[in-house]
Amino acid sequence: MLMSIPTIIASGSLLALDVVGQADWALAKDASIAAAMAFVAALFALTLMMRLLRSVSFTPYVVYRIVLGVVLLVVAYT
Angle at 40 between CA 36 and CA 45, to 5 degrees: 145
Residues 78, 76: Cα–Cα separation, whole Å: 6
Where are the chain's structural domains?
A: 2-76
pTM tops 0.85, yes or no: no
23 conformational bin, left if phi > 0, alpha if psi -120 to 50, beta if neither: left
Tens of pLDDT, residues 19-28: 888 887 888 8
Summarize pLDDT for 27-69 with one digit per residue, the tens: 888 888 998 999 899 899 989 988 888 888 888 889 999 999 9
